[in-house]
A and B are shown apart, each in its own frame.
Chain A
Amino acid sequence: MKSLGYKRSTTQYIREWCIELFLLASASAAIFVTLAIVFILISESIPFFKEVSILIFLSDTQWTPLFANPRYGILPLLMGTLVTTGVALSLAIPVGTISAIYLSEYAPARLRETVKPILELLAAVPTVVYGYFALLFVTPLLQKFFPSLPGFNMLSAGLVMGVMIIPYISSLSEDAMRAVPMHMREGAYAMGSTKFQTAINVVMPGALSGITAAYILGISRAIGETMVVAIAAGMQPNFTINPAESAATITAFIVQVSLGDLPHDSIGYQSIFAAGSVLLVITFSFNILGFLVKKKFRQRY
């Protein structure tokens, strides 16, 4: 084989190859992190489930791992997570969606470009600061209207969490709405629709999967949120659906144990990995759901 003259040196080939290998290794890091998460949660939960049957874990309504006579039912923690998430969503979904419609369909471009980054700052505030705000501003405020509200309650924690996830919902929904092609809107306007009717009848259905993906991300954030609930909702497991009571979530329990001094091999300590596994399974399911919805979204446009 004849050479072309400008033969590249062997070192250059080797360098190119080494660089590609390094880049590939970096990209593979994501796989290792996922594997590490799954491996640790499973391997550290196994000793726990040797002591406690999965059936009891999933059906007992008491969670008292630190008591002398411990009981390990995840339901109270799960309920705490569900109630705080429910409160957060019942604030964030309507406010986030309406804000998104306003920004996408009504707001002048300059207002939108100014407000959107500021709104996104709501998601940038550290969660521990939100915890402070919930405990020492929102709860006292609510107590003025409901004097019987305890100092720790899921209501104010949930509401503040709701504020925190508004930008996730509004930003992503707005992106989806703006991706709806103009000619679809024109069809509605040509028949005499108002902006509101166009938004409801054309834009929202057109952006449905994007909006759904935004909701799912919001739900997943609320379920995994830790500091707001740990600070403002209390750390006592409480099997209740009443948001005005105090209760611990799965995440708050993990924080509580981490703050304490339990020995590494005690069952109380291992219980945080079992609780973490439940949390991962739930958020993982929502991630998959969001992924599927988004995939459908991509096919449409």
Chain B
Amino acid sequence: MSSDDSVQRIERGAAFLDVRDLKVHFPTDDGLVKSVDGISFQLERGKTLGIVGESGSGKSVTSLSIMGLHKRGVAQISGQVFLDGQELVSSTPDEVRLLRGKRMAMIFQDPLSAMHPFYTVGQQIIEAYRVHNKVSKQVARKHAIEMLDRVGIPQPDKRVDAYPHQFSGGMRQRAMIAMALSCDPDLLIADEPTTALDVTVQAQILDLIRDLQREFNSAVIIITHDLGVVAELADDIQVMYAGRAIEYGTAEEIFESPQHPYTWGLLGSMPRIDRERTERLIPIKGTPPSLINVPKGCAFNPRCNYAHLNGGASETDRPELLDVGAGHKVACHLSPGERAKAWETDIKPKL
């Protein structure tokens, strides 16, 4: 690699999607809400990143700010987001708008409220297609029917004229996906795409997202609180807590050898259908912190069973997200030895 190359990469971002130190802060009457407080990750085409966290961890705000959909004027946003070499944070709202829907698209949790109740499904897909493509309504309509067919909606030529309320929950989410994919985007962000759906329908939608990703070779970010869903889809997983990433790694690493006590907590809290039933779940004590009043030092320290091992560092220093080998990153003061010991003796046997 020549030096020219590296300069080029710094300016244009190293990966297809390159997020660097993204911060989204909201000033409120009660204080500054640091919804996202320094997030960095990279994502290539054809890969899926799962962002996992509880409510208030900043996972949804991250995705909305990549899309430029955060509340304008209110949010203070800093850092860099490169999409295929174009920096988005410093771009004008109109430049970002032209990318939205065309190069990056999004699907939401509740497909009923996410679709306009007064327009037919077809009209909404046609609208999405025609913003970015100069075609006639007839051509766009044909395209909409094709898209509906592609996401597995039966009789697409008839259903195209139906209204969202005439669709079932699963069909609506399929239609949302059809709308999001109508301009063949390179990046698809799915924010809790199956949380509002029944389990059998959830399985269908997850299959659909996986198949379409292969077909379109797009980068996918899936945001969810359900570790089962990310295990189904994600190549890499980022675990978020109180606006920051606390662990990042491949899906295998996160599930087989998680490093952060919060990740252990999440795994321990979940009853597992695929393992022997445990007598008791191992919850994380306490409640997630308020984003106005994030604990000093490691935000997780009041809830962490191992914080006392760090000689006070947990309460004073914020741990950085550091590589512990092969791209697996963790933000924790525990020494690798302590972590390995805790995982092998305390946690793993109880899962």
Q: Tell whether A pairs with B.
A: no
